[in-house]
Structure 1
Amino acid sequence: MFVAKKLPVALAAALLLAACSKTEPKTEEIRPVRAMVVQSSNIDVNAEFSGEVRSRVESRLGFRVGGKIVSRKVDVGSVVRHGQVLMELDPQDLKLSQAQALAALRAAETNRDLASSELKRYQELRDKNFVSQAILDAKLSAAKSAQAQVDSAQAAYRGQSNQAGYAQLLSDIDGVVTAVDAEVGQVVSPGTPVVRVAKSDEKEIVFGVPEDKVDTLRKIEDVQVRLWADPEKSVPGKIREISPVADPFTRTYAFKVTIPQSLTEAKLGMTAVVAFASKTPVPQIKVPLTALFHERNATSVWVVENGAVKLVPVTVTGVQGNDLVLGSGIKSGQTIVTAGVNLLKPGQKVNILGAAAK
């Protein structure tokens, strides 16, 4: 009787254990991936760089003689004309040297006049046969030597006169003062730059380009320039110079783009944007290198359709930077996987991380 009562309890426990140990059906794995929507375009290169408006010609002016600066006539930003006085040195010592050279010239002229008079007198005596020819030749040589001394003294005087004129520093171009490197009271040596003047009629934009873009941009002829202060107005520019050496700090190569004189709004020091653009005759589809899947000497990409992926063979026709140009296989508007291609299999469900980027 006791055994009969325990049998239903044991049976119920066995059924409960069997229900708990029943295996659940396997769920299909959904793998997260990154993807992009491919678009065909005939734009080969489209790049923009920010630069600074500078003058093509900038003169670093210095005095041709040494001395103490006694006056400064301009400030940074002053508009100057050719021949305008920028700075002046103390001219006292230069004027004394000029006076000394003038005195030496006067003394040489006096000696020349005396030698000429003696030569004339001895020529008359020679005509009367009162002196020998040797004495006349000596007087002729003395007269020529005196004339040579006069010529030397005249050259020295002109040189000292020029030196006195160099006490004034004159602008050699029409432009704008961009820097003043010396002040009143400072003693400067000959040739030391004290004022920088930029020519105002020829301007260009200077900017740095990474080394992987230099060769590509060098061949582009469609260059457009616009000022940050007036972004709606765009004018054509022209590459004038490309630095052959990278900047030691930024490791970029300096490009100089000439802008037309019609862009009168461009002032020195302004920020400008230089845009490069080039197009191909036939639209192209570009994909990143990470989108390719290699298997058995075949190149393919994973195309996402209805939440699943399928493998589509493609042909690569070229390389542009970090992108590959595809010749066939996919069409514009399709979504392809760009990261995680080696972990997929045909028909696998995927979850695109974020929206598919165009």
Structure 2
Amino acid sequence: MRSERTVMLVAACMAAFLTGCGRSDVPPEPQRPVLTRKVGLGGDVAGIGYTGEVRSRYETPLAFRVPGKITERLVNVGDTVKAGDVLARLDPVDARLALASAQSQADLAAAELRRYRDLRAKNFVSQSALDAKETAYATAIAQADIAKNQSAYTVLRADKAGVIDQVSGEVGQVVAAGQAVMRHSRLDTPEVAIAVPESRVAELRVGQLATIRLWADGQAGYRGHVRELAAVADVSTRTYAARVTIDNPDGRFRLGMTARVEFANTPARNASAPQLIPLGALFQHEGKPAVWVVGADQTVSLRPVVVQSYGESEVLVADGVKPEDRIVIAGVHKLTSGEKIRAIDAQASP
């Protein structure tokens, strides 16, 4: 009897303990802060942007006008040159021999012409014979002048001030006439070379205004305009090359720098038109693209989308989202369907 009371007492204590544990409140997990944005804002309002490279408008391949062996190269990549500076030389021996031969022929033709003029004055030769010697002399002089020019062509000089941004000829190399051995770029005409995808090329036109920012100095903005837009896509990248001229460049621009080109706002798209969303908002679900849509109760749900084209940092969606839909644009791989979040507006965040 006593043992039964002991067992009942122990059971009552355990029940009371368990009841007390059940009454302890477990605090709910805090809602995850997630960066979001409404479709139709951000990329569409800020305009279209492309990353490009600062290049010179005038990039000239330099070559010798005669064939020969390079015996001297006086510049390297990055060297600044002035008009008339000697850049490289060919072996001049053959050119000098050709000039000496042509000059000897010219001297011989001059002596023949003087002799025939004296004979003609004495009426010992006909006028036609003298005319032939006149023609031979003129031909010999022309050949001597050509040989003289070709001898000068063994020295490669800079036509204008600029910088050597590419070298492809080395000492000892035998080059053909017209074969490029280096490239010269002017420093006073910088512009930005960009590649435009075929889904965006219809939105650009020659003369369109743009804002240019250097990645090395993103605070300063420069005005520019589209100078050139290719009519045919590149065969390998399937993009259209464009050149954007910098209206008022300063010393910050150096050839080869990376720059961001942003164009003016595009007209607002309607609900059925393709929408531009950040690349980071795209999520792969069962091998197909999708986005996380934020509901009115701050819960997220996965919605499949149809991608029309991919850009460098943005995606053009043909179907699946419409203006004013709020989507998650960062941390998409950490969410689960039905999860309640704390949406942070990307436009409002600093």
In the other structure, the counterpart of 1:234 is 221
Q: Please, which of 123, 127, 133 is the counterpart of residue 146 of structure 1?
A: 133
Q: How has the CA–CA distance of structure 1 residues 277 and 321 changed in structure 2, closer, same or farther, with 3 Å as cutoff?
A: farther
Give 1:41 shift: 6.5
Q: Is the counterpart of residue 162 in structure 1 residue 149 in structure 2?
A: yes
Determine whether 1:106 maps to 2:96. no
Q: Quote the Cα distance in structure 2 between the aligned partners of 1:139 and 1:220.
A: 69
Aligned runs of 1:176-325 on 2, under 5 Å?
176-218=163-205, 221-278=208-265, 322=318
Cα distance in structure 2, aligned partners of 1:268 and 1:93: 38
Going from structure 1 to structure 2, the CA distance change for 1:86 and 1:245 (only over 3 Å counts) comes to same
Asked if the contact 2:206/2:229 (under 8 Å) is kept, the reply is: no
Pick closer, same or farther for the CA change 1:97–1:261 going to 2, 3 Å.
farther
Deviation, structure 1 residue 210: 2.2
Mapped pair 1:80 → 2:81 = yes
Gaps of 5+ in 2: 1-35, 276-292, 300-315, 329-336, 346-350
8 Å CA contact retained: 1:201, 1:261:
no
Aligned residue number for residue 52 of structure 2 = 51
2:7 aligned residue: none
Change (3 A) 1:210 1:354: farther
1:238 CA drift (Å): 0.7
Partner of 1:119: 120
Deviation at 1:351, TM superposition (A): 4.3
Match of 1:67 in 2: 68
Q: Do 1:38 and 1:286's aligned partners in 2 also have CA atoms closer than 8 Å?
A: no
Please say which structure displays the higher CA radius of gyration.
1
1:307 Cα deviation (Å)?
A: 7.7
Alpha-carbon distance in 2 for matches of 1:103, 1:337: 86
Q: Tell me the alpha carbon deviations over residues 263-283 of structure 1, each in whole angstroms, 9 at most, x when there is no partner.
A: 321000111111123165xx8
String of CA shifts for 1:36-61, please: whole Å, max 9, x gaps: 77588796562222111011111111
Point out the more displaced range, 240-249 or 175-184: 240-249
2-side partners of 1:173 and 1:307: how far apart?
64
Query: Which residue identity does 2:106 align to in structure 1?
Result: L
CA contact (8 A) 1:226 1:273 kept: yes
Q: Secondary structure of 1:99's partner?
A: helix
What amino acid is aligned across from residue 232 of structure 1 in structure 2? Q
2:64 maps to amino acid = F
Between the aligned partners of 1:337 and 1:262, the Cα distance in structure 2 is 39
Tell me, which stretches of 5 or more residues in structure 1 are unaligned?
Answer: 1-35, 123-135, 291-301, 309-319, 327-331, 339-349
**Contact 2:222/2:248, CA 8 A, preserved across alignment:** no
Q: Percent identity?
A: 33
CA gap of 1:189–1:77, structure 2 versus 1, over 3 A, is same
What's the Cα RMSD here?
Answer: 3.5
TM value normalised by structure 2: 0.66
Shift in CA distance, 256/143, structure 1 to aligned 2, threshold 3 Å: same
SS at match of 2:83: coil
Question: Structure 2: how far apart are the matches of 1:166 and 1:215?
Answer: 46
How many aligned residue pairs are there? Answer: 269
The alignment's TM-score, normalised by the length of structure 1, stands at 0.65
Distance verdict in 2 for CA 1:241–1:352, change over 3 Å: farther
* Distance (whole Å) between structure 2 residues aligned to residue 270 and residue 287 of structure 1: 39
Once residues 207 and 118 of structure 2 are traced to their aligned partners in structure 1, the CA distance between those partners, rounded to angstroms, is 79
Amino acid at match of 2:78: G
Counterpart-to-counterpart distance in 2, 1:231 and 1:336: 29
d(CA) in 2 for partners of 1:239 and 1:269?
19
d(CA) in 2 for partners of 1:236 and 1:354? 41
Q: Counterpart of 1:75 in 2: which secondary structure?
A: coil
